[in-house]
Amino acid sequence: MKRRDFLTQTSFLFGSSLLPFPAMAQVGSAQAAAAPVLTAGDWAGLRKQFSLSYDYIHLATFLLASHPKPVAEAIERHRKAFDENPADYWHEHFMTIDQQIAAAAAEYMGGQGEQIALTDSTTMGLALIYSGLTLRPGDEILQTVHDHYATDLSLQLRAERTGAIVRRVALYDNPAQVSVDEVLSKLKAAIKPATKVVAVTWVHSSNGVKLPIRAIADMLAEQNTQRAEADHILFCVDGVHGFGIENVDVSTLGCDFFIAGTHKWIFGPRGTGVIWGSDKGWAQCKAVIPSFSRSYDVWLGGSTQDQVPMGEHMTPGGFHSFEHRWALPEAFKLHLKLGKAEVQQRIHQLNSQTKQGLATMKSVKLYTPMSTELSSGLVCFDYKQMSPDDVVKALHAKGIIMSSTPYRKSYARFAPSLINNEQEIERTLAALSML
């Protein structure tokens, strides 16, 4: 049998399942028996799904998630199948599995699976998009001074290769007092005729500010009505620290690209991420890394490029940690079971409790807005004259794991999440006040 025929036939035979057919019924019943009994808002039940040590209060799980039980079990199922017969297991699924994962992502985040590319991280997603954008010499990329290093360097490298120009703007003077009007006015004033791309970060990991993405998109849409289509501004969002918290459909945010890792607030497998792109956005972005799955079949002559969805075409090929990527749908299913609205309410509740407690301490300077409209799951502050790293070390000695912001100007940072409870927040605030 020719390789092309083998790939085509196995995609039909096995594309509807992640496991070989003879094992489907047996494994399906085992999964049903092991499935966590969770309902919307069952935070105590959720905490039991993690192997996280109870020796600490974990206020930095946004950095890299612990795998909840359904995700860990899915990883182990795929790992076992690969270890027993790697060639057959990969051939059985690689032509169809990315479509299934993208469909699961779309069910959670919105849009269509065809618009979603799969990556290994936020950083990879940013690099893929910014490296692939169609830019002319002299085109301007407008970003903010609040973005992460991964955005800064991705844009710098793209500018060096294309002759485009990168310029940065501050969207607010005082993060704790930021307003929607201030953000919009500063960004609008910074736009020039040469501006072709606006790149922002939804939630700033430097200080906890959450940008009003929909309002920014509306302002940019108005700007585009005054431009020729070739000069329209593309709107790109690093959404990682709102993704898995905010109850939104990304396809309604008004951006052209939404990029996020899924191993943070989503509790997805480590080494996974997604890119959602609008039709307009994907039309102005070229692939940087060859894709496998159906794009590979185009090269073999079995199909044509117009038969390959853009998100799938933009998904980097090669051999990944497949047992992790293929387990990603379980994380989306878990969040949907918990309820997107309930998740948002709970994380905002715990973060509001944290900020309100910090605000009562005379030795604290809070940088994150109190308003949930302009903040999400990160709370940044200074304490006394202590350096942020010293605060982190001191609380770690008291059994509390937190972090400091990895920026030139660093702050201490709490990140209350779904695995925390009100009592842990109170204990943390009490421990801080005793330093």
Per-residue tokens: 272: 């996974």
Q: What is the pLDDT of residue 29?
A: 37
pLDDT at 36: 52
Residues 83-110 as b/e (b if ≥16 CB within 10 A, e otherwise) read eeeeeebbbbbbbbbbbbbbebbbebbb
Taking the mean position of all CA atoms in its chain, how far away is CA 137? 31
Amino acid of residue 376: S
Tell me which amino acid residue 194 is. A
| Cα–Cα dist 223/275, whole Å | 25
Retrieve residue 48's tokens: 């039991």
pTM of the model: 0.90
Pairing of strands 403-404, 273-277: unpaired
Q: Token digits for 82?
A: 């690969």
Please tell me the distance from the alpha carbon of residue 420 to that of residue 341, in angstroms, as a whole number.
17
CA distance 45 to 283: 44
Question: Sign of torsion, CA 100 101 106 107?
Answer: positive
Contact criterion met (CB below 8 Å) for 270 and 324: yes
Give me the phi and psi of 201, to 5 degrees please: -115, 130
Per-residue tokens: 110? 């919105």
Give the whole-angstrom CA distance, residue 409 versus residue 381.
Answer: 12
User: What are 173's two structure tokens?
Assistant: 């003077």
Residue 95's pLDDT is 84
Q: Count CB atoms within 10 A of the CB of residue 69.
A: 18
CA–CA dist 368, 381 (Å, integer): 7
Q: How far apart are CA 388 and CA 254, in angstroms?
A: 36
Q: What is the Cα–Cα distance from 425 to 348, expressed in whole angstroms?
A: 13
> Which domains are seen in the chain, by residue range?
103-336 (3.40.640.10), 340-433 (3.90.1150.10)
- Extract the residue ranges of the chain whose pLDDT is less than 50: 1-35
Q: What is the 3-state secondary structure (H, E, C) of the chain?
A: CCHHHHHHHHHHHHCCCCCCHHHHHHHHHHHHHHCCCCCCCCHHHHHCCCCCCCCCEECCCCCCCCCCHHHHHHHHHHHHHHHHCHHHHHHHHCCCHHHHHHHHHHHHHCCCHHHEEEECCHHHHHHHHHHHECCCCCCEEEEECCCCHHHHHHHHHHHHHHCCEEEEECCCCCHHHCCHHHHHHHHHHHCCCCEEEEEEECECCCCCEECCHHHHHHHHHHHHCCCCHHHCCEEEEECCCCCCCCCCCHHHCCCCEEEEECCCCCCCCCCCEEEEECHHHHCCECCCCCCCCHHHHHHHCCCCHHHCCHHHHHCCCCCCCHHHHCCHHHHHHHHHHHCHHHHHHHHHHHHHHHHHHHHCCCCEEECCCCCHHHECCCEEEEECCECHHHHHHHHHCCCEECEECCCCCCCEEECCCCCCCHHHHHHHHHHHHCC
The residues, ordered by sequence, that sit 6+ positions from 211 with a Cβ below 8 Å of its Cβ are 171, 183, 200, 201, 202, 203, 204, 374
pLDDT of residue 66: 97
Q: How far apart are CA 263 and CA 72, in angstroms?
A: 12
Please tell me the total number of residues recorded for the chain in this structure. 435
Burial class (CB in 10 A: 0-12, 13-18, 19+), 435: middle
Spatial CA neighbour of 372 closest among 262, 210, 232: 210
Q: What is the pLDDT of residues 252-294, one digit of tens each?
A: 999 999 999 999 999 999 999 999 999 999 999 999 999 887 7
Q: Which residues neighbour 287 within 8 Å (Cβ) at sequence distance 6 or greater?
A: 132, 313, 314
